[in-house]
Structure 1
């Protein structure tokens, strides 16, 4: 049976191979989303891969970059972009060419030419036209008084996927997509949605896939409709030619239907703790920067050559699987075994396993090993060591205590809601915690994530009293003003969150700042109420609280878990009422109309299921999919893959929902 993930991997590899073939003796300009896709394709060695292919120099570029240095000793430029904005190309490429005397320019673009784009909401001047762009580039190049006619080529290349492991991928160019909480969908979102639909269409058409499209949520419904517009004609053509196809059920889900899961402090998947502990790699949404200097001891010259941080992309699929599936205790035992294996290879005495394995005990062992090792052996073990460092640092980080406290507050909220229901006092408790947050070592951003969790969990099932909400709003307003006062005293801090950047816009006048703080708090409460209403129209997946029996405590259950269990439970024959099915072809649509819905396909009727969450996925959801795969190791059941706009942690939701 054809493996669609293997086919996708081959297609991605083919795209980059074609690009590598053209970068020899050229200067490469590549945007951030393309860099992130390349980063995962090359296991964290994107820059080296381009240099090894012969690139003279490699530069990142973006809409707001204004400095492009002149590059000598080359007459060729290769530009790799995922932007669909014609103004971006007009400004950026023109600026690059103005500083160089290139005779050859190749633009690799992941946005199709407007001539094959069926998006009608944009005027012609806002669509990317390859023919016009090619003419413009030639004009810009000849303005530099070239002695010969310049060679210009623009190539469509579907760069939009970053494979994290064999069952998980993200789409960096669409990392900022998030379904709106109200009915208003911006033009920019509609344009990106159409581009994502075309990207999926092109991907599945290239590998010979016949799609059954299901969706849940208003933005996912639109994405499914756009995708169906692209696929219907090709499915009809393939049906007539009787070309063998791979059957795939594509299930599209709005992230905003379940904001409990991405704002939960659940770290049963250790990957969640790593994502919360380390900063992102610059301009990356899905990988972290791990400081690897500790493994080199005090050798200054080596430290200087290892300023580039370690990352998760460099680890093998099996290690990523462990980070996703294993809890902390078991993972620390695995790391201990890794360290033992490393000493055995180096003919060192076997390490004594400590009575209690912890991050701190493993840190001591690692330091001991590194003090005995040569630099060569350390570099040889670099990939494994940076993974070990990530695990140790995440388990010993000061943030671990904060996560533990937030987890206990989350459990308190869950049990309070499940027992007290309408009479719940959880908002009163959270109001008090917000006012005393500094003494508890908490910040307002993490507490806002907790509030999103509470409102998303309560849904329309539980209503909070006006008095409790008013008190909560007052507490948030006071906290915002206090945070602004603190920020003024520490304004020299370079790294600022989206929340802090918004605070700085309030100005320095105290009276005006207090009024603005109250308005922000009121807006936050309005947003929380909208969050609670997101599942109002659902029939089967309206609730995210589960009590198995009277003896068991209530637990949070994600929509993804509910859907996957319903799909794989072969004993359940009921219709999945919340999944809206798009007809896979004109012919099947006609038959469905004739049969009046008597014969309906089920997602598990195909060999593969791909679930894509518009707005992003979490480590916990990746763990759920791994568990489903393990529990349903049956050749008759379909293989399932999870994908999403990006990898999420709680503060990503706070930034996007409240401060973007």
Structure 2
């Protein structure tokens, strides 16, 4: 199967799923359901011939007259047990298991602890996994007359815009080494990780390999960060990847980067992108990592008391794959200013306005109230609502964000970040930033600042300073003590119901500060991009310029400056030989490869990105004038609080 873009990649492989679902009950897990949503949603399955669609849950089963089942799954050990339970409680005679993960990885996991190196080296892993899975299905069905099939279909991407793609099944993949941010050893390989982490590396690499195969790409691999070196190692050396590179013909550059090298951008509350703000304020759409739940009660007659916990009313969301006008608006939420998004929404809503509000041309400013007025005019008019449901959901999502009390919190936190930035730039080692944060934690209730956002501010500060600033030990002790008290007061909310003693809160506070100090050490391995606090080019003072931003600006620079931090996977051995023989140590040869030597460049960030980052990186590429196609991929869109939880392992 071949695809020309990431969006096409998803569409091509979903069509393979639709070919198998006629007359079947379809069971799918949350990541697959999110991928389906971005391809068109539930009705793609129902209109394609599925008789029912259910969640992949051990509590689900099917009616006795339903004889065919299709399972869309990540094929983990837990999910296989779930499939066993569903089959045991149903009466199927035909089962199809669609594995979203490559069978060579599944084979390794099915045979964990056994020596299967000969099978893997000979490239027989996928065939053996197919046999094992089909034998399991036959045994679980337990009938002589039955049909089973196990097939790998790489459903793992969504494409919110034409240049951005995300991977919902890998939303929890994060650069850690046996749970730590910094590996214990410099001689890093897969077996220094836990079995779960090892599996995540292989699964992510297998997904990227499937993407390359479908797009007929033969890649040069580059990486920044220790974890990314492991992912590129699997891509470089796995027999399945080696076989694919022999057959693919289009040259490409794949750049994999650890999120942990720069956590400033993702923990900053100063976001210009409308999508980032919406994702910060509104709750997640159930089961999704990249979409929000929009309260639809303003359009309906139902009396909803608390949303989204009140299940009388299904939530709306932001992305509507089958409505071109909505996909354009979603793109604007990533790439345009708030003012442009508001005018876009008002323009589209004014065409369905039943009250005939002022023309967009006569308005100097579109406010949340003016958008809300048009939306409210459609209340109860279900004919209008059903025709324009997508744009109404998007408009409500933006209005609810802009009118939320959380907006004032975000503005205050942004102001605090700016103060910290200038304080660090001015005073460096003599800074009292940690004392200021300790005071903020003590007075957080008076200022209406949630503790989790202040923890995000702590991660932001430590990542911003890197190794350039050493905070006084006494200040770190004060911060730890203040944090311990705050954690004791709020740990049930912060830790989702867990109950901790004062001593446990002390220990947790110590762990969090130690982890934040690890965050500040992440860029010490970098030579050129080790600082993100730069003198401002447009105004007085200093500004944040992220590692990714610096990398992309160098990448598209026509002068082709040195990028010593971007390691080329194929050059590791050559570098060792050169240094050992003491040849060419002073300068690189002119023959050194550059990512832009290939027409397609994919930058993949392990651990999440923001819409704002994607917009800035894309803008740098566009304004540079290079002809290369540059795609930006990541495991998920992330908010400051989520980025903090990932970094601090909360």
TM-score over 0.5 for the pair: yes
Q: Provide the residue aligned with 2:189 in structure 1.
A: none
For 1:67, the equivalent position in structure 2 comes to 59
Shift of 1:29: 1.1
After TM superposition, give the deviation of residue 5 of structure 1 in Å: 7.3
State the SS of the aligned residue for 1:163. coil
Residue 205 of structure 1 and its aligned partner are, at CA, apart by: 2.1
Aligned equivalents of 2:54 and 2:241: distance in 1? Answer: 40
Instruction: Give the secondary structure class of the aligned counterpart of 2:551.
Output: helix
The answer to whether the Cα contact below 8 Å between 1:236 and 1:586 also exists between their aligned partners in 2 is no
Q: Aligned pair in 2 of structure 1 residues 582, 404: CA closer, same or farther (>3 Å)?
A: same
Is 1:274 aligned with 2:262? no
The match for 2:372 is 363
Counterparts of 1:394-405 in structure 2 under 5 Å? Answer: 394-405=401-412
Identify if the C-alpha distance between structure 1 residues 106 and 298 changes in structure 2 by more than 3 Å, giving closer, same or farther.
Answer: closer
2:44 aligned to which of 42, 45, 49: 49
Q: Shift of the alpha carbon at 1:206?
A: 2.8
Equivalent pair of 2:100/2:153 in contact (CA under 8 Å): yes
| TM-score w.r.t. length of structure 1 | 0.86
What is the CA distance between 1:558 and its match in structure 2?
1.3
The answer as to whether partners of 1:27 and 1:71 remain within 8 angstroms in 2 is no
User: For residue 134 of structure 1, what is the aligned residue in structure 2?
Assistant: 134
Which region of structure 1 is more displaced relative to structure 2, 555-564 or 132-141?
Answer: 132-141
- 1:438 deviates by 0.5
SS in 2 for 1:583: helix
8 A Cα contact 1:265 1:407, kept in partner: yes
Task: Note the C-alpha offset of 1:213.
Answer: 0.8
Give per-residue Cα distances to partners, 1:237-270, cap 9 Å, x unaligned: 34xxxx7x32211110001001101100122111
| C-alpha spacing 1:356/1:83, structure 2 compared with 1 (3 Å) | same
- Root-mean-square deviation (CA), in Å? 3.2
CA distance in 2, matches of 1:326, 1:306: 35
1:581 to 544, 568, 572: 568
* Partner deviation per Cα, 1:395-425 (whole Å, 9 max, x = no partner): 1111101111111111111111111110111
Cα distance, 1:591–1:406 mapped onto 2, change above 3 Å: closer
Segments of structure 2 that go 5 or more residues without pairing to the other structure are 117-124, 185-192, 305-309
1:233–1:585 contact (8 Å) kept in structure 2: no
Which residue number corresponds to residue 265 of structure 1?
Answer: 269
State how far apart, in whole Å, the 2-side matches of 1:329 and 1:10 are.
31
Secondary structure of the 1:92 match is helix
- The residue that corresponds to 1:505 in the other structure is 499
Q: Is the 8 A contact 2:160 2:331 kept in 1?
A: no
Which of 326, 332, 346 is the matching residue for 2:336?
Answer: 326
Q: Which residue of 1 aligns with 2:215?
A: 207
Alignment of 1:462-611 (within 5 A): 462-484=469-491, 487=492, 499-501=494-496, 504-506=498-500, 513-549=501-537, 551-571=539-559, 573-583=560-570, 598=589, 599-611=591-603
Q: How far is 1:72 from its partner? A: 3.0
CA spacing shift, 1:355–1:568, aligned 2, 3 Å: closer
Checking the alignment, whether the CA contact within 8 Å between 2:4 and 2:215 is kept in structure 1 is: no
Name the CA distance, whole Å, in 2 between partners of 1:544 and 1:329. 29
Q: 1:402 to 1:229 in 2, by over 3 A?
A: same
Q: Which residue of 1 aligns with 2:233?
A: 225
CA contact (8 A) 1:28 1:57 kept: yes
- Residue 223 of structure 2 contacts residue 568 of structure 2 at CA under 8 Å; is this kept in 1? yes
Identify if the C-alpha distance between structure 1 residues 298 and 123 changes in structure 2 by more than 3 Å, giving closer, same or farther.
closer
* Cα shift at 1:554: 1.2
**How far 1:583 sits from its partner (Å)?**
2.6
Q: Which residue of 2 aligns with 1:38?
A: 36
Contact 2:263 2:459 in 1 (8 A): yes
CA shift, 1:179, in A, is 0.6
1:654 aligns with 2:644: yes
Quick one: which of 319, 327, 330 aligns to 1:313? 319
Please point out which of 88, 100, 103 is paired with 1:110.
100
Cross-structure match for 1:337 = 347
Match of 1:182 in 2: 182
Secondary structure (helix, strand or coil) at the match of 1:321 reads helix
Deviations along 1:53-84, one digit per CA (max 9) or x if unpaired, are: 221221112xxx43123423211111110133
Alignment partners' CA distance in 1, 2:161 and 2:580? 40
- Residue 92 (structure 1) aligns with: 82
Aligned counterpart in structure 2 of residue 23 of structure 1, from 13, 21, 26: 21
For residues 103 and 443 of structure 1, do their structure 2 counterparts lie closer, same or farther at Cα, with a shift above 3 Å needed? same
Q: Which residue of 2 aligns with 1:421?
A: 428
CA deviations 1:277-325 (Å, max 9, x no partner) are: 111111111111112231346799xxx9993322122164321221012
Structure 1, gaps ≥5 residues long? 488-495, 507-512
Give TM-score, length-normalised by structure 2: 0.87
**In the alignment, which residue of structure 2 is the partner of 1:381?**
388
Which string of whole-angstrom CA distances, capped at 9 and with x for unpartnered residues, describes residues 156-186 of structure 1?
Answer: 1111111112111111111101112120533
CA distance in 2, matches of 1:637, 1:580: 23
- Work out the number of aligned pairs and report it: 611
1:116 and 1:22 map into 2 onto residues whose CA distance is: 21
Q: Aligned pair 1:460/2:470, yes or no? A: no
Counterpart residue number, 1:509: none
Q: State whether residues 218 and 245 of structure 2, in contact with CA within 8 Å, keep that contact through their aligned partners in structure 1.
A: no
Partner Cα separation in structure 2 for residue 236 and residue 350 of structure 1: 58
Deviations 1:367-386 (A, max 9, x none): 2x326x84212221111111
Deviations 1:570-627 (A, max 9, x none): 02x332100110239999x999999976211111111111110001111111111331
